[in-house]
Amino acid sequence: MRELMQLEQKEDQAQFILKNASASIKERRRRGLTWYPVTITQEDIGFGDKVVLELERPAHRQDLHLFQVGKNASLFSNALGYSAGDRPALSGVVTSVRRNKLLLATTKEVLPDWVLDGSTLGIDLTFDEVSYREMNQALSAVMLAQGNRLALENCRAQRSKMVRVARYIRLRKIQKKSNLL
């Protein structure tokens, strides 16, 4: 089961990268995956002394988007000399979204120089591994459950599966017998 989930996650991630790596900023913006351009309107220090940025897109930009609290995102620079694959980026998590503003809690204690060099900035949603991580944790909890309600539910599910398999085997035997007569 765990192997199938990992296979699905890898394929999902590969499709996300394939679909978005070659897409233009305009196309990603149309899909709701990018805000571009954005400006940094505020910079604070958050939990663990990590930088938290307030980003704002122009007021006339009312495009629909997929940004929401808890989503992984990456601030990027559209400076000359970089291609889509090697442009500088700063990862983080969206902690607030209000109209044309969002808060990005970054993974850095100090902002990289390219953020403040005057180039045009944008923000992309990145592949979301959270749901896969949660499914993995739930699967682990079920597999390790002993002597509690979760173990009982797991036992019932296994019993139900065995009953279905037994019925199937009985049905196949009856079908084989009837075919032989």
Same domain, 118 and 156: no
> If phi over 0 gives left and psi between -120 and 50 gives alpha, with beta otherwise, what is residue 99?
left
Query: How many domains in the chain?
Result: 2
Q: Examine residue 57 and state whether it is found in any structural domain, yes or no.
A: yes
Same domain, 122 and 165: no
What pLDDT, on the 0 to 100 scale, is given for residue 179? 58
Same domain, 89 and 7: yes
Domain span at residue 155 reads 148-180
What pLDDT, on the 0 to 100 scale, is given for residue 51? 95
What pLDDT, on the 0 to 100 scale, is given for residue 181? 46
Q: For the chain, percent helix, then strand, then coil, each to nearest 5? A: 45, 25, 30
Same domain, 26 and 74: yes
What pLDDT, on the 0 to 100 scale, is given for residue 62? 75
Q: φ and ψ at 52, to 5 degrees?
A: -120, 125
**Residue stretches of the chain with pLDDT short of 50:** 181
Same domain, 64 and 118: yes
- Residue whose entry in the numeric block shows the structure tokens 């990289």: 112
pTM of this structure: 0.70
What pLDDT, on the 0 to 100 scale, is given for residue 176? 60
CATH at 96: 2.40.30.270
Q: Examine residue 138 and state whether it is found in any structural domain, yes or no.
A: no
Helices 130-144/2-21 angle, 10° precision: 180
Please tell me what DSSP assigns to residue 148.
Answer: S
What pLDDT, on the 0 to 100 scale, is given for residue 116? 85
What pLDDT, on the 0 to 100 scale, is given for residue 33? 92
**Residues whose CB falls within 8 Å of the CB of residue 164, separated by 6 or more in sequence, listed in order:** none
What pLDDT, on the 0 to 100 scale, is given for residue 45? 93
